[in-house]
Amino acid sequence: MQPLKIAVLVSGRGSNLQTLIDNIEKTEINGKIEIVVSNKKDAYALERAKNHGIEGVYIGKGNYPENDKRNDKLIEVLKAKKIDLIVLAGYMSILDRKIIELFRNRIINIHPSLIPSFCGKGFYGSKVHKAVLDYGVKLSGATVHFVDEGTDTGPVILQKAVEVDFDDTVDTLAAKVLKIEHELLALAVKLFCEDRLEVVGRKVKIKSSSDIS
């Protein structure tokens, strides 16, 4: 099977991007990152891409101030690269409906909580972990899901929990969750590239390798 063509959308340091790069280089994932797109000009993730010979491009408010033109440029890039899968790896921007329609069930996002808890509008980054600690729940975690028109509302692919300790801070909880984010995102991309994910309504069926012809 030919490696699937992947685009990774980023906004920050790109640790999840690095995990995908590492897994692809170890041939754990049957895919190739064709392009890394950042909506932040100075995102370190672009440097990570450059270090591994991956094309990186900045498409943000600085060079495309108008929302429609920014979305059109992103679509143009994705189509030109004939992308099979889009991975949102800490991408702090809402995808336009046109992109979601073009890549239905081919966009994966990672969220630092157990959806449907602590997700949706306003829940991103450290704000998620602060909300978890403020509420006093005993478990948090990470979720990988397909992207639909809502915010963190698409079908769940994988989830894993971490215990929230009484003395946890935003930073310590974030570190625990990030560790499983790396694990889950790499596995979800691997499964997608092996054609082992099937969306059935709101559920995602993970097919065994024997089910794949």
Residues 6+ apart with CB under 8 A from 107: 85, 86, 87, 88, 95, 99, 100, 146, 147
Residue 150 lies in a domain: no
Q: Predicted confidence band at 157 (pLDDT cuts at 50, 70, 90)?
A: very high
Region class of 141: left (phi > 0), else alpha (psi between -120 and 50), else beta: left
Catalytic annotation on 129? no
Q: What CATH number should be reported for the domain holding residue 52?
A: 3.40.50.170
Q: What is the pLDDT of residues 3-44, one digit of tens each?
A: 999 999 999 999 999 999 999 999 999 999 999 999 999 999
Q: Which of 111, 129, 145, 182 is catalytic?
A: 111
In a domain, 109, yes or no: no
- So what's the pLDDT on residue 213? 57
Digit-coded pLDDT (tens) for 47-56: 999 999 999 9
Is residue 156 in a domain? no
Both tokens assigned to 124: 């991103």
Per-residue pLDDT, averaged over 182-207, amounts to 97
| pLDDT band with cut points at 50, 70 and 90 for residue 88 | very high
Three-class secondary structure of residue 3 per DSSP: coil
CA distance 93 to 11: 8
User: What DSSP character marks residue 96?
Assistant: P
With pLDDT > 90 as the criterion, what percentage of the chain qualifies? 94
Provide the domain count of the chain: 1
Which H or E run includes 21?
Answer: helix 15-25
Note whether residue 90 is domain-resident. yes
Domain membership of residue 36 (yes or no) is yes
Task: Give 90-113 pLDDT, tens digit per residue.
Answer: 998 889 999 999 999 999 999 999
- CB-based contact 9:107 (threshold 8 Å): no
